[in-house]
Structures are given as C-alpha cells and as structure tokens.
Chains A and B, each alone.
Chain A
Amino acid sequence: MAASEQTTDANTNVPEYEYPDVNTKPFHIGSFKKEWLSRLKPSDYSYEEADEDAFHANFAREMGVSAETMAELKAVCSVDSLRCHPEDQQPDTEVVPPDPTLRTLVQRKERQDHRASLKKIKKNRHDLYADELERLTIGRKPETVTDMVPEGEIILTINVYYPAVFDKFNYIRPHMTLLMTGSHSLAELRDAVCCVSDLQVCGEFSNTPDVAPEFISKDHYKSAFFFFEGVFYNDMRFPECQDISSTTIEWAKSHNFPSYSQAKMEDTLLEDLKVKVGFPYLYCHQGDCEHLVIITDVRLAHKNDCLDKNLYPLLTHKHRVLTQKCAVCHVFIGRWYTTNDQFAPSDPCLFCDKCFRMLHYDAQGNKLGEFLAYPYVDRGAFN
C-alpha cells in the first residue's frame, strides 16, 4: 500500500533526528532495513566467521601492496601494539590499578574506596538480576536452523514503562525492556508486557477461596490498544474484544483534532510500523491502565545476539519493586488482603496463601469466624 509512497522519497527512511539525541523523525522500519541491506555486503551482517587469510589476501590485492608490506601492516596494527604492560606480567584487570592518571580511573578508584569504607559489601539485587538476564540471552543459538533469526533481520529494543506512581520522585523510571524482531506482531508485544493490572482479581472470596485465582482480569477485559503516530492498533483477536479506541477517535473528530485511524494489533508487524525512535507512545489496557512505550533502538541482527527465534520477545531488563510480605510469616509475598478480620493484627492485612488458609479455615476448609477476603496481586509479583 505505502510502497509507492516510500520509493518516491526514500530518504525519509534514513532516520534523522527530530530533536538531537532525543528522538528521530518518523520512519518506516521495514524500509529502513532495506536501506541498510542495500548498502551492505551480505558478509557484513552474516553470522558466519569469515576467513582471516582471505581477508588479508583480499586487502593486499585491492590496495596493491606486497606480501611483505601486508605482513608489516598486520604487525603494526596488531592488538599487541596496544598492550600497556610487560608481556610476561598479566595485570589484575578486576581492580583499578594503583596511582591511575586517567580521570575515569581516578574517579572509579574514589568510588570503590568509598564503597569499601562503608563495609557493607552487599551486592545489589538489581545487579545480580541484570547478570542473570545477560547470561541467559547473549549469543544463544537455536537447535534447528528454522528457529534461527534470519541474517539481516531487524532487532528492536522496546521499553515499556509502568504507570506513573507519584508516591516517590524517581529518576529511574521503572520499566521493562524487551528485544523483539521486525517480524513480531504488536499482539506479541502486548502478550509480553506484564502488568499487575492484568492479574487483578475483583471480588470478595472469603467463602470460596479456591475459586478466586482463576478469575484474572486478562481473561475478562481483553481489549487493549497501542497508539503510534496517529494510529490506534487494537487487539481484536477474541470475539469479546472491543475497539476501545473508537471513543477517543470520535471525540477527536468532534473536537477538530487531527483525525486518527485504526488498525489491528495482530495484523501489524513491527516492521510495518512508521515510528519515531526515542519517542514516547502509548499502550492502554484494562480500560485505563496506561503505559508509555519507547522504541529505544532499531538495528540489524548481529551474530552476538540471541539467535533463537523462540526466545523472543526477550526480556533484558525488569524493574524490581519491593514486595509486600505476609503479616504472619514475613517470608512470602502477600496473596490475600483481608478486612474486618478478627484474626488480623491490622486492618486491612496481608497474608500469604499458606498463612491465610491456616488461620482462617479449618482442616476441612470451612470458614472460621467473620472476615472479608480479597485476592491480592503484588506489584512485585513478576520479579
């Protein structure tokens, strides 16, 4: 459909800044990929290790230099010529060297000395987790060729931010980061976003605690949309889905706003999108749970990427929030929220599933005493 449009002005698909270092002008992801591929040799983005001797022979031929010169060139440009320590001494690269002169090292030393003086060598949980994710994802190869991310495929990095909570001013906006390929659909992005409001259980279940966990919001309120560059992409996969964007579109029309259009989430691949990199867009679900979505990076796949298609969408960062623990055992995450509860130390009160049942029901599962119980999903449930 837009093919003819794109060929008339191909340069619009070479991303340019709209605001320098903040966000780009809109461009078509698939055409951007084509622009890159038309400039590169297939060997430039191939996953294969190329032959070094062939590279050198080729270089010598193209530059018209002798074998002798080539050997000299290799020696001059070798990594060895960058070695900053005697050949027979392996330095300890894990510590900042003593008496550094580089400003980066002076600062790093100061920080490390300061940290050591605090004596609390506690490893940040976030750091541990980042290591974990990194180990899982980098350089993974699939078992079969058919599961391989094709060479020259687009890899997008997408940040999905949690709904703004203003209880704490925070520089680090909590978000999750996903890697996806250009051939993923927006519906797949939607399914990869984990938000507690999808798991929110509505209702009081003190009489039937075993029924509650089945009743999660995702099954009830399936409608959702993404909003990119004037287009609402609605999730219409299920019969009970509604086009929840139509209200907004109608409203915009009646208020003389620029007209918006609609498309289906499940029919739209990421490479079909025309978007700005770095620009905040919208994901809305559960009627009013709104997330900012920023595509922070678009590039060609590289041999060091996770190359197993099945592992995408790939979670590479997840903000970990503090979890509310059970008021009795202080160990497990709260699963039940009670009020008017004669057994509870406070009102309302949080219990883990085990403590809740032990305290409020007999061995046969009969309710003891009076209280109201609501299933509770912690914000840190996805940690």
Chain B
Amino acid sequence: MDFCGKQVKADCEQLLKRFQRTQSVRFEIFARIWREMKFSQIFYGTVNHEKRKFSRLILDVASVFFLPPFSFQIRVGGLYLLYSLYQCQNASPSEQIRLALKDWVDVKTFEKDAIEAQHFDVVYILQQLMFCKAFHFTATPSLLTYNKKRKVERSPMHENFMERVSRPQELVNIELLEEMDNVHQHYENLKASTLSLTSAQQDPSVSLIRKNLVPQLRSTVVDFYNWQKRKDSVDEEEDSSEGPSSQQECSKRAGLLASIKSKAYGQAAEVSKSRRHRQVEVDFTSNEAPTLGRSRITKPSLKARTSENLHISGNLPVTTKNTTFPDLKHFTPVPALCAIPGLVLKKHAETGCI
C-alpha cells in the first residue's frame, strides 16, 4: 500500500491548503471544499482487503495534521479530515484513528483552546469521534517494523502549515524585561555597596556585571523578529505563482495574515455565541500591524517572588548601613523598555482564527 502514500499525502495537503486559504475553522467551509474536491471518492475502487489497508494508510497520513507543530487552523483542518475520512471509509467494521499516548496532552490542550474560543463545531467533532470510539489508544502513531527510511522527505507545504516561531517573543516579553531590569539594578546596587565597603572603589577588575543587559536582550529579540519578517516576505515573493505579485502587496498579505490571528479572535468573539459554528464574516480590509498583547499572568511576578525570597533568606549583608535593601516597589522603567513588536498573546494567536 506504500506505493500510493505520496499521492494520498498530496491530496490531503491540497485539501488543507484550500481550507487554509479560507482562513476559517468552520466545518461548513471544510465540508464545502471536501465536496468540491469529491474527496469521498478517494475510497472508490479499492477492493477486498485493500480497503482496510487503504483506510489505515490514509488515516495515518491525515493524523499528522491534527498534531503540533501545525498551526491551530491546520490542526482543525486535520481533525475535520480525520472525521470525514473515518465516516466515509469503506472498510467494515471501520478502521480506527491511531492516537499515541504522548500526543494525548496535545489533543486535550487543543480541545481546551477550542472550547475557550467557543469553536463549537471543532469541539463537537472531536467529541463525536470519541463518542463513536473512532480512536485506538496506542503507544506509537503508526505500526513500527524497524523500517529505516533512507531519507525523510519534507514537504515544502508543511512549512506554510506551521505557525511562525514566536517563543523568543513570548519568553522575552515586556514584563520579563521590566522585572529583569529591576533585578539587575538591584544587583548592581548591591555590588556597588559591597565595593564601597571594601573601599575597592571603581576597581575595573571587580566589575563583573554585564552592562546594558536588558536593552541588549531586547534588541536581540527585535532583530530576530525583523529577520523573521524579512524572511517571510521573501518566501512570499518566491511563492508568487498565485496571489498578488507586487512586493507591496506581498508584504501587505503577510501583515494581513499576521493581523488575522490577533484581530479575528476579538471580532469573532462578539458574534452571538449560538452562531459560533457558523461562518463569521470578518472585515480584513484594514491593514493594521499586529497588536501588542499582554502575556497572561499565571503565577506571581518574578518581582514578587524575588522580593519574597530575598526577605526570607537571612544572608543579607546586615552590617551595611548605607545599603539598605532597595525598595522593590519603587521602580522606574528604563526608556529602552518599549514594546517588542509582534508580541501577541499566544493563546489568542493560536486559536484566533475565525
């Protein structure tokens, strides 16, 4: 059955590519593309035991798109694809969708994100699959027979299906920079006071502190982000066979795609709850830069934790008179600490498709 693996993958990718272009996560839209492509026919003409083998193959191929590293929208498409293939297959009884233990947490997170964004059709279809026992709960995504692949073929399509990497921006967010600057200043002061005690003032050999740590970190992340943007727009140009061709329009489209994530969520959320599984019309004509979000706060800030820890520990230089502990509450942000572009709230960015 391996002989048709490439063709099956290409067909699945074609379907998902068309789904991606709609910028939608609605099942209704997916089903329309499915019908247009007459995708049910993919099972026609398999005979006897080929039916089961083919179901196994195509379900394994499709499962990949339901899991990271693909973007939320592609994963929704992957889920719909699995559901549709599962329902339309001609093996009887039906062949199951394999779900590996290590991927369970990703599926649960995906479900949670879909619930939070109130994508009812996504949640319904996932739970429908669970309800009709469509899954095999397995150790590995596919059966393994120690077949060493000569070369792993990576589809160029896959890169387009992935979210742009945003971990650096997420990690080095404005709050982290503020806190880091605070701690850094505090540390600098502490050092300075220690030095003044030992009267080894201005001794360059003792200045172990890296100056400008925070601004440097910030500018590095900004550089990374700008490089990423440049790279993206180059990719867009190369991909000019379809869609707008002028550079201006390309970068416009890139900006558009980026803004959809942050914007769409906000707009779609206003739509009546009961219509969430229906197609939502969102106006994409305005070309705003990605809005800056604030990262969600899940634990006490580093500042709070630092201050707590420092107060508890009794190893403070109590003998120092002039180095009373600097007031952690008193904090003035350095001017360099302005926003890092492209910093959007991760959760919204991922689930923020219409």
B94 (CB) vs chain A CBs: closest residue: A304
Contact between B145 and A278 (Cβ–Cβ < 8 Å)?
yes
B213 interface residue (CB < 8 Å to A): no
Instruction: Tell me how far the C-beta of B89 lies from the nearest C-beta in chain A, rounded to whole angstroms.
Output: 11
User: Can you list 21 pairs linking A and B with CB atoms under 8 Å apart?
Assistant: A19-B148, A21-B149, A24-B139, A36-B101, A55-B131, A77-B128, A79-B88, A82-B39, A84-B39, A94-B44, A97-B41, A101-B37, A101-B38, A104-B42, A130-B49, A138-B93, A294-B144, A297-B144, A300-B138, A302-B133, A304-B93
Q: Which of B127, B133, B136, B144 has the most CB of A within 10 A?
A: B144
Contacts of A32 on B, CB cut-off 8 Å? 101, 139
Binary CB contact string for chain A from 18 to 32 against chain B (1 if under 8 A, 0 otherwise):
010111100100001
Alpha-carbon distance A17/B141, docked complex (angstroms): 10
Contact between A91 and B44 (Cβ–Cβ < 8 Å)?
yes
A380 interface residue (CB < 8 Å to B): no
Contacts of B139 on A, CB cut-off 8 Å? 15, 24, 27, 32, 277, 297-299
A81 interface residue (CB < 8 Å to B): yes
Contact between A36 and B27 (Cβ–Cβ < 8 Å)?
no
Instruction: Tell me how far the C-beta of A121 lies from the nearest C-beta in chain B, rounded to whole angstroms.
Output: 12
Contacts of B52 on A, CB cut-off 8 Å? 134
Alpha-carbon distance A112/B50, docked complex (angstroms): 13
Instruction: Tell me how far the C-beta of A95 lies from the nearest C-beta in chain B, rounded to whole angstroms.
Output: 5
Contacts of A91 on B, CB cut-off 8 Å? 41, 44
B87 (CB) vs chain A CBs: closest residue: A79
Binary CB contact string for chain A from 36 to 79 against chain B (1 if under 8 A, 0 otherwise):
10011000110000101001000100011110110011001101
Contacts of A35 on B, CB cut-off 8 Å? 101
Instruction: Tell me how far the C-beta of A112 lies from the nearest C-beta in chain B, rounded to whole angstroms.
Output: 7
Binary CB contact string for chain B from 100 to 128 against chain A (1 if under 8 A, 0 otherwise):
11101000000000010010110111011
A117 interface residue (CB < 8 Å to B): no
Interface size class of B (residues with CB under 8 A): 35 or more
Contacts A76-B28, A81-B28, A104-B8 hold; do A63 and B140 have CB atoms under 8 A apart?
Answer: no
A296 interface residue (CB < 8 Å to B): yes
Contact between A299 and B146 (Cβ–Cβ < 8 Å)?
no
Instruction: Tell me how far the C-beta of B214 lies from the nearest C-beta in chain A, rounded to whole angstroms.
Output: 36
Instruction: Tell me how far the C-beta of B15 lies from the nearest C-beta in chain A, rounded to whole angstroms.
Output: 9
Instruction: Tell me how far the C-beta of A215 lies from the nearest C-beta in chain B, rounded to whole angstroms.
Output: 36
Contacts A36-B101, A134-B52 hold; do A105 and B42 have CB atoms under 8 A apart?
Answer: yes
A287 interface residue (CB < 8 Å to B): no
Alpha-carbon distance A16/B10, docked complex (angstroms): 27
Instruction: Tell me how far the C-beta of A327 lies from the nearest C-beta in chain B, rounded to whole angstroms.
Output: 35
Interface size class of A (residues with CB under 8 A): 35 or more
Residue of B11, B84, B138, B146 near A298 (CB, 8 A) is B138
Contact between B137 and A77 (Cβ–Cβ < 8 Å)?
no
Alpha-carbon distance A159/B98, docked complex (angstroms): 19
Contact between A277 and B49 (Cβ–Cβ < 8 Å)?
no
Interface of B toward A, CB cutoff 8 Å: 3-4, 7-8, 10-11, 27-28, 31, 34-35, 37-49, 52, 84, 87-88, 90, 93-94, 96, 98, 100-102, 104, 115, 118, 120-121, 123-125, 127-128, 130-131, 133, 135-140, 142-149, 273-274, 277-278
Contacts of B46 on A, CB cut-off 8 Å? 108
Contact between B146 and A23 (Cβ–Cβ < 8 Å)?
yes
Contact between B104 and A77 (Cβ–Cβ < 8 Å)?
no
A309 interface residue (CB < 8 Å to B): no
B118 (CB) vs chain A CBs: closest residue: A63
Contacts of B90 on A, CB cut-off 8 Å? 93
Contact between B142 and A21 (Cβ–Cβ < 8 Å)?
yes
Alpha-carbon distance A69/B278, docked complex (angstroms): 10
A131 interface residue (CB < 8 Å to B): yes
Q: Which of B127, B138, B148 has the most CB of A within 10 A?
A: B138
Alpha-carbon distance A108/B53, docked complex (angstroms): 14
A230 interface residue (CB < 8 Å to B): no
Contacts of B130 on A, CB cut-off 8 Å? 44
Contact between A95 and B143 (Cβ–Cβ < 8 Å)?
no
B27 (CB) vs chain A CBs: closest residue: A77
Contacts A22-B146, A32-B139 hold; do A103 and B10 have CB atoms under 8 A apart?
Answer: yes
Contacts of B127 on A, CB cut-off 8 Å? 55, 59
Instruction: Tell me how far the C-beta of A75 lies from the nearest C-beta in chain B, rounded to whole angstroms.
Output: 10
Contacts of A76 on B, CB cut-off 8 Å? 27-28, 31, 121, 277-278
Binary CB contact string for chain A from 219 to 257 against chain B (1 if under 8 A, 0 otherwise):
000000000000000000000000000000000000000
Instruction: Tell me how far the C-beta of B68 lies from the nearest C-beta in chain A, rounded to whole angstroms.
Output: 14
Q: Which of A96-146 contact B (CB under 8 A)?
A: 96-97, 100-109, 112, 127, 130-131, 134, 138-139
Alpha-carbon distance A94/B47, docked complex (angstroms): 7
Contact between B44 and A96 (Cβ–Cβ < 8 Å)?
yes
Beyond the given pairs A72-B278, A130-B49, A278-B144, 17 more chain A to chain B contacts, judged by CB atoms under 8 angstroms and listed by A's residue number, are A15-B102, A22-B149, A24-B144, A36-B137, A63-B115, A72-B277, A77-B27, A82-B87, A97-B45, A102-B39, A102-B42, A105-B45, A127-B49, A134-B52, A278-B145, A280-B146, A298-B140
Alpha-carbon distance A253/B42, docked complex (angstroms): 57
A168 interface residue (CB < 8 Å to B): no
Contact between B144 and A107 (Cβ–Cβ < 8 Å)?
no
Alpha-carbon distance A105/B4, docked complex (angstroms): 9
Contact between B44 and A104 (Cβ–Cβ < 8 Å)?
no
Instruction: Tell me how far the C-beta of A277 lies from the nearest C-beta in chain B, rounded to whole angstroms.
Output: 5
Q: Which of A345-380 contact B (CB under 8 A)?
A: none
A190 interface residue (CB < 8 Å to B): no
Contact between A69 and B7 (Cβ–Cβ < 8 Å)?
no
Contacts A65-B120, A76-B121 hold; do A299 and B45 have CB atoms under 8 A apart?
Answer: no
A274 interface residue (CB < 8 Å to B): no
Instruction: Tell me how far the C-beta of A131 lies from the nearest C-beta in chain B, rounded to whole angstroms.
Output: 5
Residue of B87, B96, B104 near A39 (CB, 8 A) is B104
Q: Which of B31, B84, B88 has the most CB of A within 10 A?
A: B31
Contacts of A19 on B, CB cut-off 8 Å? 148
Alpha-carbon distance A265/B195, docked complex (angstroms): 71
Instruction: Tell me how far the C-beta of A129 lies from the nearest C-beta in chain B, rounded to whole angstroms.
Output: 9
Contacts of B140 on A, CB cut-off 8 Å? 15, 17, 24, 277-278, 297-298
B41 (CB) vs chain A CBs: closest residue: A97
Contacts A100-B41, A103-B11, A107-B4 hold; do A66 and B136 have CB atoms under 8 A apart?
Answer: no
